[in-house]
Amino acid sequence: MSTDGSAIEIQGVSFRYGPAEPLVLERIGVNLPVGAITALLGPNGSGKSTLLHLLLGLLTPGEGHIRLLGRDARQYSRREMSRILGLVPQDEHVVFELSVLEYVLLGRAPYLDLLEMPRESDRLLARQALTTAGIAALERRSVTSLSGGERQLATVARALAQEPAILLLDEPTSHLDLANARRILSVLRSLKEQGKTIVLTTHDPNAAASVANHVILLRAGQVLAAGPTATVLTSVHLTATYGVEVEVLEVQGRPLVLTHALPD
């Protein structure tokens, strides 16, 4: 672990999808603290998902470096990376009717050799992950029959089965209703308390406010502000980011973000 308590250090990272394409990210330099929930917040197209894919290693930065747990990300093999980073993708579309337990067992792949099948110990860990995600009762159901919120939790459990130090979530609550979004966020909160580092992308400042203790505000591929949630989620920052007048109230001891009402 690095000395300054950063799980992820992003140092001067720029990225474009092709030589003729515009820069999607421009000289990003931020640190993500260990054992915290960090939200990558920004409007659609601001580069959050690209940044997440760079952290995952799915994309490689054109310039700059990413350090994971104090080591240059390029020094990890893909298999090592998959033991450190667990991903919960935005919309996991499962074609075949795996049971929830079989689905979560896929998260054991980083620990299994090419010809190995999951063992009893893997099943034990998968069941623990299901319990952590609060859906132990669903293990025999088919993943394709789950509701959106349940499927998202199953995917969180699959990522937890990887026993990662860092959990990446791409828009984890954007298509969930209030109750299901709250369920996910409370699971994330308890994971944080167990010492996991959590990184999530969201375009919704209130989702960030309700769970993150650290926010990185992105706009057009650049970091507009980064730091503890209360210092980043200000009306000045958010108005600059989203291009609409934004008001930030304090409700229940945390920021609540409102846009100005439309004229009647």
Partner 1 sequence: MSARASEPPPEERYARQRLAWLVGLVVLGFALSLFLGRYPGPYLTTPADLRDNTLAQRLVLNLRLPRILAAVVVGMVLSASGSVFQMVFRNPLVDAGFLGVSAGASFGASLAIVVLGGRAWVVQGCAAFFGLLGLAASYLLGQRIRFGDWVLRLVLAGIAVSALYSSGAGVLKYMADPLRHLPDITFWLLGGLWGITWPDLLQILPVTIPCLVILYLLRWRLNLLSMRDETAFSLGVAAGRERLVLLLCAVISTTAVVSKAGLIGWVGLIMPHLARRWLGSDAQRALPGAMLVGGLFVLLCDDVARTLLSGEIPLGILTSFVGAGVFLVMMLRREWPVRR
Out of 7, 40, 85, 104, name the contact with partner 1 by CB under 8 A.
85
Residues 135 to 164 in contact with partner 1, rule: CB under 8 A: 139-140, 142, 144, 159, 162
Using the rule CB under 8 A, is 262 a contact of partner 1? no
Out of 1, 4, 65, 97, name the contact with partner 1 by CB under 8 A.
97
Using the rule CB under 8 A, is 127 a contact of partner 1? yes
**Nearest alpha carbon to residue 105 among 128, 84, 85:** 128
- How far apart CA 197 and CA 111 sit, in angstroms, is 21
Helix ranges, the chain (H): 48-56, 78-84, 100-105, 120-132, 148-160, 178-193, 205-211, 229-232, 235-242
**Contact assessment for residue 84 and residue 69, using Cβ atoms and an 8 Å cutoff:** yes
Using the rule CB under 8 A, is 258 a contact of partner 1? no
- How far apart CA 64 and CA 57 sit, in angstroms, is 13
Q: Which is nearer to partner 1, 168 or 176 (CB)?
A: 168
Q: Which is nearer to partner 1, 115 or 251 (CB)?
A: 115
Q: Binding segment for partner 1 among 33-41, 108-116, 195-203, 238-246 (CB under 8 A)?
A: 108-116
Smallest separation (angstroms) from partner 1 to the CB of 131: 9
Q: What is the CA radius of gyration of the chain?
A: 19
Residues 168 to 197 in contact with partner 1, rule: CB under 8 A: 168
DSSP strand pairing (214-219 vs 222-228) = antiparallel
- How far apart CA 166 and CA 198 sit, in angstroms, is 6
- How far apart CA 213 and CA 191 sit, in angstroms, is 13
Q: Tell me the number of residues near partner 1 by CB under 8 A.
A: 46
- How far apart CA 215 and CA 195 sit, in angstroms, is 18
Using the rule CB under 8 A, is 120 a contact of partner 1? yes
Using the rule CB under 8 A, is 98 a contact of partner 1? yes
Residues 50 to 79 in contact with partner 1, rule: CB under 8 A: 53, 56-58, 78-79
Out of 47, 61, 118, 255, name the contact with partner 1 by CB under 8 A.
118
Residue 138 neighbours by CB under 8 Å, 6+ apart: 100, 130, 146, 150, 154
Out of 95, 179, 251, 261, name the contact with partner 1 by CB under 8 A.
95
**Contact assessment for residue 82 and residue 109, using Cβ atoms and an 8 Å cutoff:** yes
Interaction mask 223-252, partner 1, x per CB under 8 A? ------------------------------
Instruction: List interacting residues with partner 1 (CB under 8 A).
Output: 53, 56-58, 78-79, 81-83, 85-87, 89, 92-99, 101-102, 106-107, 109-110, 112, 114-118, 120-121, 123-124, 127-128, 139-140, 142, 144, 159, 162, 168
